[in-house]
Structure 1
Amino acid sequence: MQSDPLGEDTLEVVRAIAALHRQIHRAGLSLRESSDFSLFEDTVRATEDRYLMEDFSSRFFDLHGTSAFWIGAWGKDGEPVSVQAAKLEDLRDRSLGQLWQQQQRRMFSDPVSHVELGDNHAHDAFSMRGRIVYHGNLWLRKDARGQGLAEALTQLGFLISVLKWSPDYLYGLMAARNAMKGFGIRVGYRRFAPRGTHWITPPEHIRPDDWLVYSNRNDLQILAKTIVSEGPE
């Protein structure tokens, strides 16, 4: 996709973010965007799940404002209702699949000897290069589900990533049952590969049936235009 010299695509993204923010605010939530991942870890520990993904842990990565951010949503009671995070990888010299071979081993196989990573990852991952955003650690409190907030919050994270980094791709890894139920398409992913990372012996807390779900830059621009013209999905 060619860059837009008039900035019209950027303005569409800004308008879409504003529409999503209004929807989330009407639900009684306040938002905070930050690159302080120590605070992110503290916020995750205050949730009912307390699940911090290795990809967003300071144990494995140096996460800072040029290449990572997170968004939290809080209710009127001051308690966390949602968290999500995103980070950018500049993959001009290798593919996403090749990155997984390195990073997944570092995070999972090297610390635990009985975990074994395969190499038959999603075919699409080996053709994905450039500026690639990983979106993950998405959590929404149980009493806030089923109200359209998961979609609005996730799309907000997607479009803030577009504003910050103008990525070539944005991707996640999603449990197969959620992908097949249509959750991926509802939150804004437009491309699906029925295998994500390939595990021979997976870590105990990692599902071996994940899907690679992703959108390219054009998909994300179309998502923004759709939100502006039709309202949040």
Structure 2
Amino acid sequence: MSFHSMNEGAQFVATSRDILLQNQIKVTIGSDFLEYRKLLREERPQQIMGAPFDPDMHDLNHKNAFWLVARDSDGLMMHTQASRLINLKQRTLSGYMLKRFRDFPPAIPDIDLKRSRYRASPGANRITGDVVYHGEVWMGDTGQYRGTGLSTVLARYGIHEAMCRWNPDYIFGFMARTVAFKGFAERMGYMHNEPGALRWYRKGSDMPLEGFVSYLSNEDTRYLLQMPVVDVVDVPQPQSKAA
């Protein structure tokens, strides 16, 4: 049964759009990753585009990927995320990543791919079918929105878009340990967070960067999107500008 034909998420979408409108947040969704790369170079130069969404490395189009950009009342980019569909066929996510994890490095320079490693977590051994990789999640350092809960609303907005497009079996992403320990995975809506999945090394450093794998099953996602936004986050109040 298609997610489109069901009422799941309808209340979430309506409330989310009201919240974004009240806070003068404009969301744009697209599938042209050449355009997305150009936007990032101009407006998010502090964080390079992640390799999983590089159009020079992958055939990305409206059938298998999308990006989401949110802008504040001044038109400034304040949030990004992107999703990409992967058909695992008969493989598990762990089997896929054992061979392909180097295609999903963190968006930082000087990664030593030879020394880095992937470790299959219990959940990754069960994940199979059509899965969505959810990444490029970035929230600008815009003080007026800090602590408002808008990051939670925007993250779920992207998850809902992925469900409407593909109704995947699972949605997953990778998260740095330092970020995961701050509860960001939970704020985004992920119900499963497994440590020790990734260990990245930078060239010339013996200090590893640890990564969690975070994921939702199709059932988890439906449950999440059925919940009123006020049940999972304090609804942000409209932001007023100082005179």
Could you say which TM-score interval applies, normalised by the shorter chain? 0.7 to 0.9
SS in 2 for 1:41: helix
Question: Which residue identity is paired with 2:137?
Answer: L
- Paired with 1:228 and 1:117, the residues of 2 have a C-alpha distance of 38
Q: Name which of 51, 56, 59 aligns with 1:59.
A: 56
**Which residue of structure 1 lines up, in the alignment, with residue 195 of structure 2?**
194
Work out the percentage of aligned pairs sharing the same amino acid: 24
- Contact conserved, 1:130 with 1:168, CA < 8 A, in 2? yes
Aligned residues: 226
Q: How does 1:38-187 map to 2 (within 5 A)?
A: 38-45=34-41, 46-105=43-102, 115-143=114-142, 144-187=145-188
- Contact conserved, 1:20 with 1:232, CA < 8 A, in 2? no
- Paired with 1:104 and 1:203, the residues of 2 have a C-alpha distance of 18
Post-superposition CA distance 1:97-144 (Å, at most 9, x none)? 222233334566xx9876334352323212210111111101111113
- Paired with 1:140 and 1:208, the residues of 2 have a C-alpha distance of 21
SS in 2 for 1:196: strand
Could you say if the C-alpha distance between residues 190 and 55 of structure 1 is closer, same or farther in structure 2, counting changes exceeding 3 Å? same
Question: Which residue identity is paired with 2:30?
Answer: S
Matched, 1:224 2:220: no
Gaps of 5+ in 2: 235-243
* Deviation at residue 94 of structure 1 after TM alignment: 1.1
When the two chains are superposed, the root-mean-square deviation of aligned CA atoms in Å is 2.9
- Paired with 1:16 and 1:177, the residues of 2 have a C-alpha distance of 29
- Paired with 1:41 and 1:60, the residues of 2 have a C-alpha distance of 13
* Deviation at residue 231 of structure 1 after TM alignment: 7.1
Matched, 1:23 2:19: yes
SS in 1 for 2:160: helix
- Paired with 2:123 and 2:69, the residues of 1 have a C-alpha distance of 31
Question: Which residue identity is paired with 2:101?
Answer: Q
TM-score, normalised to structure 2's length?
A: 0.82
Q: Which has the higher helix share?
A: 1
Gaps of 5+ in 1: none
- Paired with 2:52 and 2:59, the residues of 1 have a C-alpha distance of 10
SS in 1 for 2:162: helix
* Deviation at residue 193 of structure 1 after TM alignment: 0.7
Could you say if the C-alpha distance between residues 230 and 97 of structure 1 is closer, same or farther in structure 2, counting changes exceeding 3 Å? same
- Contact conserved, 2:28 with 2:70, CA < 8 A, in 1? yes
* Deviation at residue 150 of structure 1 after TM alignment: 0.8
Could you say if the C-alpha distance between residues 99 and 231 of structure 1 is closer, same or farther in structure 2, counting changes exceeding 3 Å? closer
SS in 2 for 1:12: coil
